[in-house]
């Protein structure tokens, strides 16, 4: 609603809404005391001669001009009259109103306006805090902190300023400093907002249990504190406390807070609890939108509830504005779950040829055709895709893999190297290069390729495993080999082949007790264990004179009919 016109403002001010009196205002009253009409052409307050106004009247006039600009939503007029405000004695609350109004308009003038306000009222806490928060919101965090620190130096007993500084430190991610300041606050200053901010600091330092205590206290004092509820639910979720998190998200659903996001979280938590029917009930309660259904379908797929996922996707596919992503997911489900090639390709045919999903559709089509054994057809299609989508290295990778299947390894090597000339740090192409060189017998070339891959992608678990195992096998840089393999194990836990590599490196380094511990862990991981892992198990156990354990491991290896079966039988004969 628009503000009242200037004459009504005058009346309101006389009624006590402003501390300055209009009595005797020569610019606002004529000789008979009647109010002078505003100009019909401009509807603006006319500036009277300065020498006709008392000091109080000049203050009131500045206020009226200021309010008139806001009532007309005229930012330019307000800024033009800042000088008039600065020369008057309007209270800090007037400047504060103006700053809040400018903030609501996302105005670029708000910071200079606040700086002028603080020149007029240098010790005002509200203006100082708003200025600091505005600086922080514009990524000028250091300056915002300096503003509050300067204020606190001059007003050390001002608790609200201490709180504001602590909250800014939380926003800046300086959690240790924030924690120290928040702990120093008196109990009376511990509002729900303070507890919420303290919880964010504690969470940022990894002290999640303490953060939960703070958040629960904030929510107890303010039951509908949605930010605190959201943070509390998220922390429970991070800690795997699915039921606690779900109960809080249900509360947020009742409060109608971020319905789409909350619905998705509730579906995900129910699937984590292996309650797909409950997940579907939440879906029905949430917003009936394509976005929610599509996200829900992805969550059902990740939880391996493929039937429910496919049902949801088919519902979305019936919509006129169904996103192409739906057809990709349905094609993947049709092939991966039922090996229904015809239906999978039918879904892919519905992916628009000129849309953003077209390249992924082309890649999936090639993969399906290749997996059905039609390698030559797949090769033709992937070459067409590589020419059509020249900016996508995935087509180079896929073509190389198909060529390897066709035993055309030199051509595959050339394709990989062509791709790396354009994308020298591409992770997949780099790994393919090392793997193919190894397969072709060029072990040193493969090792160099994997080292380059690690230089660009130091967290690639496959490359870490390859380099670590290669070094161990050749008994070079064993300390580094063990370090690399420990890292691979942490990045890709419970992978039997990585654990085996680590055990083998420890064995080569003479660290036999841990080598035995790790190889035992390797054979406990997964249902089918490679015979080479059983062979390593036998060698490690034998080196520790555990003959029964070694014998059992060699027999397990022989069950898989390995290429070196004769050598294993020879070792068994000595036990």
**C-alpha count within 13 angstroms, C-beta hemisphere, residue 348:** 23
> Which residues in 281-314 are b (16+ Cβ under 10 Å) and which e?
ebbeebeeeeebbbbbbbbbbebebeebbbebbe
- Is the pLDDT score of 2 beyond 50? no
In a domain, 563, yes or no: yes
- pLDDT of 45 reads 53
Where residue 468 falls among pLDDT bands split at 50, 70, 90? very high
- Is the pLDDT score of 350 beyond 50? yes
In a domain, 530, yes or no: yes
How many CB atoms within 10 Å of residue 416?
A: 30
In a domain, 447, yes or no: no
The average pLDDT across 481-486 equals 97
In a domain, 532, yes or no: yes
> Which residues in 219-256 are b (16+ Cβ under 10 Å) and which e?
beebeebeebbbbbbbbbbeeeebebbbebbbbbbeee
- Is the pLDDT score of 482 beyond 60? yes
Mean pLDDT is lowest, of 14-28, 109-123, 307-321, 476-490, for 14-28
- Is the pLDDT score of 293 beyond 90? yes
The average pLDDT across 59-78 equals 87
The average pLDDT across 375-390 equals 95
In a domain, 278, yes or no: no
For 203-248, how does the pLDDT look when each residue is reduced to its tens digit (9 = 90+)? 999 999 999 999 999 999 999 999 999 999 999 999 999 999 999 9
Where residue 262 falls among pLDDT bands split at 50, 70, 90? very high
In a domain, 536, yes or no: yes
Report the C-alpha gap between 396 and 439 in whole angstroms: 18
- Provide DSSP, 127-142: HHHHHHHHHHHTT-HH
Residues of the chain with pLDDT > 70, as a percent, come to 91
- pLDDT of 8 reads 22
In a domain, 558, yes or no: yes
Range of the domain at 547: 491-575
For 26-50, how does the pLDDT look when each residue is reduced to its tens digit (9 = 90+)? 333 333 333 333 433 445 555 555 5
Report the C-alpha gap between 298 and 516 in whole angstroms: 41
DSSP 187: G
For 523-565, how does the pLDDT look when each residue is reduced to its tens digit (9 = 90+)? 998 777 899 999 999 999 999 999 999 999 999 999 988 888 8
For 75-128, how does the pLDDT look when each residue is reduced to its tens digit (9 = 90+)? 998 898 888 888 888 899 999 999 999 999 999 999 999 999 999 999 999 999
Number of domains in the chain: 1
pLDDT, mean over the chain? 88
CATH number at residue 539: 1.25.40.10
Where residue 65 falls among pLDDT bands split at 50, 70, 90? confident
Note the helical H segments in 442-546: 443-456, 461-473, 478-491, 496-508, 512-524, 531-543
The percent helix, strand, coil of the chain (3-state, each to 5) is 70, 0, 30
- Is the pLDDT score of 407 beyond 60? yes
Determine the 3-state secondary structure of 29 from DSSP: strand
- Is the pLDDT score of 318 beyond 80? yes
In a domain, 529, yes or no: yes
Report the C-alpha gap between 529 and 524 in whole angstroms: 9
- Is the pLDDT score of 12 beyond 70? no
- Is the pLDDT score of 325 beyond 50? yes
The average pLDDT across 416-424 equals 97
- pLDDT of 53 reads 60
Residues of the chain with pLDDT > 90, as a percent, come to 78
- pLDDT of 143 reads 96
- pLDDT of 52 reads 56
- pLDDT of 36 reads 38
- Is the pLDDT score of 474 beyond 50? yes
């Amino acid at each position: 609603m628009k503000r009242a016109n200037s004459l009504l403002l005058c009346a309101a001010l006389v009624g006590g809404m402003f501390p300055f009196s209009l009595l005797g205002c020569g610019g606002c009253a004529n000789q008979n005391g009647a109010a002078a009409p505003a100009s019909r052409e401009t509807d603006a307050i006319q500036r009277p001669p300065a020498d006709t106004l008392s000091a109080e009247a000049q203050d009131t006039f500045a206020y009226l001009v200021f309010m008139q600009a806001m009532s007309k939503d005229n930012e330019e007029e307000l800024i033009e009259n800042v000088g008039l405000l600065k020369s008057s004695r309007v209270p800090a609350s007037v400047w504060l109103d103006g700053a809040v109004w400018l903030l609501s308009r996302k105005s670029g003038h708000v910071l200079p306006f606040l700086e002028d306000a603080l020149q007029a009222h240098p010790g005002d806490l509200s203006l100082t805090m708003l200025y600091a928060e505005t600086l922080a919101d514009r990524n000028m965090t250091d300056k915002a902190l300096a503003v509050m620190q300067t204020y606190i130096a001059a007003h050390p007993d001002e608790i609200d300023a201490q709180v504001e500084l602590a909250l800014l430190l939380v926003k800046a991610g300086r959690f240790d400093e924030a924690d120290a300041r928040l702990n120093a606050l008196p109990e009376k200053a511990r509002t729900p907002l303070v507890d919420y901010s303290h919880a964010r600091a504690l969470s940022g330092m990894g002290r999640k249990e303490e953060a939960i205590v703070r958040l629960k206290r904030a929510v107890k004092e303010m039951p509908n504190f949605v930010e605190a509820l959201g943070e509390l639910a998220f922390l429970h979720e991070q800690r795997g406390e699915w039921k606690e998190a779900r109960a809080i998200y249900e509360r947020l659903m009742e409060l109608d807070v971020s319905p789409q996001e909350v619905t998705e979280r509730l579906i995900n938590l129910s699937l984590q609890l292996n309650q797909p029917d409950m997940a579907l009930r939440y879906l029905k309660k949430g917003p009936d939108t394509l976005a929610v259904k599509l996200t829900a379908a992805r969550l059902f797929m990740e939880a391996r509830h493929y039937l429910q996922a496919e049902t949801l996707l088919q519902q979305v596919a019936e919509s006129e504005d169904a996103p192409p992503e739906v057809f990709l997911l349905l094609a993947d489900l049709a092939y991966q779950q039922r090996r229904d090639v015809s239906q999978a390709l039918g879904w892919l045919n519905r992916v628009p040829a000129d849309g953003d999903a077209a390249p992924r559709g082309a890649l999936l089509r090639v993969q399906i055709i290749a997996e059905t054994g039609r390698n030559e057809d797949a090769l033709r299609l992937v070459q067409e895709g590589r020419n059509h989508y020249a900016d996508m290295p995935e087509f180079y990778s896929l073509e190389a893999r198909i060529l390897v299947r066709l035993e055309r390894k030199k051509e595959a090597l050339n394709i990989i190297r062509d791709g790396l000339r354009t994308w020298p740090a591409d992770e997949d192409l780099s790994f393919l290069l090392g793997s193919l060189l190894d397969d072709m017998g060029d072990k040193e070339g493969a090792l160099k390729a994997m080292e380059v891959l690690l230089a660009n992608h130091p967290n690639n678990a496959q490359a870490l495993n390859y380099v670590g195992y290669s070094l161990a096998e050749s008994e070079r840089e064993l300390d580094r080999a063990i370090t690399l393999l420990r890292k691979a194990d942490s990045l890709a836990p419970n992978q039997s082949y990585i654990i085996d590599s680590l055990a083998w490196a420890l064995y080569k380094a003479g660290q036999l007790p841990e080598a035995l511990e790790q190889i035992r862990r390797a054979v406990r991981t997964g249902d089918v264990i490679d015979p080479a892992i059983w062979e390593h198990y036998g060698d490690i156990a034998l080196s520790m004179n555990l003959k029964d354990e070694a014998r059992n491991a060699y027999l397990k290896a022989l069950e898989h009919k390995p290429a070196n079966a004769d050598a294993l039988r020879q070792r068994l004969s000595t036990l």
